[in-house]
Amino acid sequence: MAKHLPTTPPTWADRLLSRLVPTDLAEELLGDLHEQFAQQVADLGEAKAQRLYMVEVLKFCRPYFLKRRAEHHRHKDQRIDYYAKPYSLSPDMIRNYFKIAFRNLVKNKVYSFINIAGLATGMAVAMLIGLWLWDELSANKSHQHYDRIAQVMQNQTFNGDVQTWESMPYVMADVLANRYGDSFKHVVISTWIGGHVLTAGDNKLIKSGSYMGSDAPEMLTLTMLKGTRAGLKDPSSIMLSESVAKAFFGDADPLGKLMRIDNKVDAKVTGVYEDLPYNSQFKDLSFIAPWELNLVAEPWLKQMENPWGMNGFPTFVQLASNIDLDKASAQIKDAKLRYGVKNDSKYHPQLFLHPMRDWHLYGDFKNGVNAGGRIEFVWLFGIIGVFVLLLACINFMNLSTARSEKRAKEVGIRKVVGSVRTQLISQFFSESLLVVAIAFVLCLLLVQLILPTFNEVADKKMSILWANPWFWLASIGFSLATGLVAGSYPALFLSSFQPIKVLKGTFRIGRFAAIPRKVLVVVQFTVSVTLIIGTIIVFRQIQHAQNRPVGYNRSGLVTFGLAREAYKHIDVFRDELKKAGAVTEVAYTSSPLTAVWSTNGGFEWRGKDPNMATDFPHTQVSPEFGKTVGWQFKEGRDFSRDYASDSLAFVINEAAAKFMGFKNPVGEIIRWAGRSFKVIGVIKDVVVQSPYDLIRPSIYSISRDYDEFVVVRINPAVSTQDALAKIETVFKKYSPDALFNYQFVDDEYAKKFGNEQRIGKLASFFAVLAIFISCLGIFGLASFMAEQRTKEIGVRKVLGASVVNLWRLLSKDFIFLVFISLLIATPIAYYFLSGWLEKYQYRTDISWWVFVIAGAGALLITLLTVSYQAIKAALMNPVKSLRTE
């Protein structure tokens, strides 16, 4: 007769009850339920018994029985109190956790120092980058209506290439206000913010400011300290920033005081406003004068035959409250074609609004489309900050797990006397959080010390946001997260040891236990090597551009402005400067040597395609200009006062000759503005704008009118200080009321590398810190390995091993890991840096030796770090090593 198997209740129901009900209650409940189930099977049948069993199990899944309630065992003759506070979270136990953690820190001073120093450094880097990111992301937000303010910009098409311009004809502001007034609350025309000579009594200072429309203070929501935002309504007024008002008038009330601007116009102070934040686009706006006053100072503007032909003025708008930016942008798209000069149609000018919220981070345009900007650096440095902090966390994890054998017995004993795994995890997390807390305090001190230097390198004015609750919330949350990340692996790893094996002495970490540590070391050096390669490439790109032939000799060139009244005596002024012996040559020009102030179109020449558009930088110069700056001629000759016909002559650069298709440019005729000009010379390309861009086709002609800039070459036989003193004496003779404000062309040219140099310095700063943190970890691991292999080293020395043999034994593993890091870092660095270089038209290449140098440097640093511990261990007395327990 067949034997029937005993019927059992649903397995899943038993598992559910075991998981949800407290452990010591589950066994008793399951026993009772199983007895009841067996009786019900006999009385009611198996199917019904199964259903009733499931119902009974679900009845126990109530909050009263759930395992998440604390289990607290009282005296054996007392019942279990399931509502008591969990023992592992009691104040006494938490206090004990931190006491043990502190004792471990004191006991292992070297490892504690490495952990705290590494974490503090990583947290300091992360905090510095966090402050930098905050400053970048909050740019322009000090203006109350920053999300409603926009700059009017235009795209113009030249031979299929779309160029984006920030400037407008000054008459465009009136068109926008009169024709599209319903879309805008304010329309503000402005000059470029730049240096102007302000005079009040005997005080003369150069301050940066601008002529702007009268609505500018309201649009920018200036914080007025004296006067009101309506101060610019007076056409002969001026508003000063707090710092400028203090520089001129001290503590006296400046309202109503008279000032003179550029020795041209007088203005009355009608307001004082708070200095604008350093991360505002208008940070250099230290004074504002009304636009009407600019028309008085520069009367030629109103006398222009075609005011639409000069795109030279920024124009800003504030949207009306009910108008969407995209809608308003679409409305004004064809405004220039509709109301401007009709022959501009071949350039297809199209206006659009660029919102203030995007000025700082999304300021680059390529072929008429926004191509990002500083947002790339926000992402880059944000990622670097995360990785540098990760390096510090890796050190903590590596050293904690490496020393696991030292703490195996502690874990075993704790488990034997009743500690559950959650309590052990809590203990190890408390150690991690204590280290992080100490590191956080040290991090604040480091940031406070480093911040002034960091600000100088990054061109910022940041400070720790002590009074900002968000700063503390982010910092504390960030520290807790760091502690949990850094302590997670050690806590979970150490708490998993089996007490029986540990106390019997049969516990071994295992041959694969070191693999996670090796992986983390590879990650550390991959990040570090990538940063080293990146730093080298950035500085190579800067050096490549700095070594670019500029087409003239910058050494000893000085430039300064000259008032229109003094320009009437320009020839006498030039002769006196040369007679004084301070300079070897003097010239004047309509644009500075390191910028393009004027471009023109409408040039015609033999063989030109009628549909070809032209927009050439066009600079008017004196005949001595080429000799003064050191032009390098490829063909033809320079301008000369001996040839009256040179008043209708052009000197062009190589790029212009190539663009025009001239095989023999000298003697060719170029027609412009109704006149014919003869090409008399071709010069090598001169770097005027960005040294990273291609050279634009450029044209030079003899000046016919007032030129604002004087260029002199200092006599090398005279000291610079004496030469400047003599130049100033002559300058004051012809411009007694003007301020002698000069610039060295070398210094002005060097400013073109400022942005890339800041990137390079910051990258090198982060790379050094990443290497430092990685080396701390390597040093700690090498120290531990040397300690762990003390007896092995002693035996090897007794058997005849040399110091070199032992050094090689302890170093080879780390060298192998760094070599793997190089193999991983090389393609990563190549990929990202190739993309970064693509945005430069004039760029360096990525040479193979860059990776070799980076790799050799990383290997050398690793060897130096490991060698100290390796040689120290190798030199130890073998007798002492073999007696060490």
Q: For the chain, what percentages of helix, strand and coil (3-state, to nearest 5) are there?
A: 55, 15, 30
Measure the CA–CA gap between 770 and 306, rounded to whole angstroms: 59
Amino acid identity, position 558: V
Closest CA to 774 of 496, 521, 434: 521
Measure the CA–CA gap between 117 and 122, rounded to whole angstroms: 9
Closest CA to 51 of 17, 12, 9, 21: 9
Are 243 and 249 in contact by the 8 Å Cβ rule? The answer is: no
DSSP letter for 656, please. Answer: H
Residue 415: CB partners within 8 Å, gap ≥ 6? 424, 497, 499
DSSP for 431-466, please give it: HHHHHHHHHHHHHHHHHHHHHHHHHHHHT------T
- Provide the H-helix boundaries in 226-299: 242-249, 291-297
Measure the CA–CA gap between 624 and 640, rounded to whole angstroms: 7
DSSP letter for 393, please. Answer: H
Amino acid identity, position 728: E
What distances in angstroms separate CA 211 from CA 235, 246, 291, 778, one per listed residue? 11, 21, 5, 60
Measure the CA–CA gap between 288 and 678, rounded to whole angstroms: 44
Residue 594: CB partners within 8 Å, gap ≥ 6? 688, 745, 748, 749, 751, 752
- Provide the H-helix boundaries in 554-653: 564-567, 570-579, 625-629
Measure the CA–CA gap between 285 and 188, rounded to whole angstroms: 15
Q: How many other CB atoms sit within 10 Å of the CB of residue 341?
A: 14
The torsion of the CA quartet 133, 138, 140, 144, rounded to 10 degrees, works out to 180
- pLDDT tens digits, residue range 835-881? 888 888 888 898 888 898 888 888 888 888 777 777 777 777 666 66
In whole angstroms, what separates CA 206 from the centre of its chain? 30
User: Long-range contacts for 65-74 (Cβ within 8 Å, ≥24 apart)?
Assistant: 65/20, 65/21, 65/22, 65/25, 66/20, 66/21, 67/19, 67/20, 67/21, 67/22, 67/23, 69/22, 71/22, 71/23, 71/24
Residue 171: CB partners within 8 Å, gap ≥ 6? 307, 308
Closest CA to 659 of 670, 647, 673: 670
Closest CA to 398 of 694, 779, 83, 54: 779
The predicted pLDDT at position 494 comes to 66
Tokens for 310?
């000069």
Are 624 and 679 in contact by the 8 Å Cβ rule? The answer is: no
Are 672 and 600 in contact by the 8 Å Cβ rule? The answer is: yes
User: Helix (H, G, I), strand (E, B), or coil: what is residue 369?
Assistant: strand
The predicted pLDDT at position 402 comes to 61
Query: Which position has the token pair 């040219």?
Result: 749
Residue 859: CB partners within 8 Å, gap ≥ 6? 815, 818, 819
Measure the CA–CA gap between 602 and 610, rounded to whole angstroms: 11
pTM over 0.95: no
The bridge status of strand 287-290 relative to strand 237-241 is antiparallel
Q: Which segments within 541-696 are labelled E, that is strand? A: 557-561, 583-589, 599-600, 604-605, 616-621, 633-636, 649-653, 669-672, 675-683
Q: How many other CB atoms sit within 10 Å of the CB of residue 476?
A: 12
DSSP letter for 190, please. Answer: B
User: Long-range contacts for 28-31 (Cβ within 8 Å, ≥24 apart)?
Assistant: 29/60
Task: Divide the 885 residues of the chain into consecutive groups of 10 and give the mean pLDDT of each group.
Answer: 57 74 68 78 79 77 53 42 48 68 72 80 88 92 93 88 89 92 93 91 91 95 94 94 94 93 92 94 95 91 82 93 92 88 70 94 88 86 84 73 62 67 73 83 92 89 87 84 73 66 54 66 84 88 89 91 80 89 91 86 88 87 93 93 91 94 92 92 92 92 82 92 92 85 91 85 83 78 68 74 76 84 90 87 88 87 78 69 57
Ramachandran class of 50: left when φ > 0, alpha when ψ lies in -120 to 50, beta otherwise: alpha
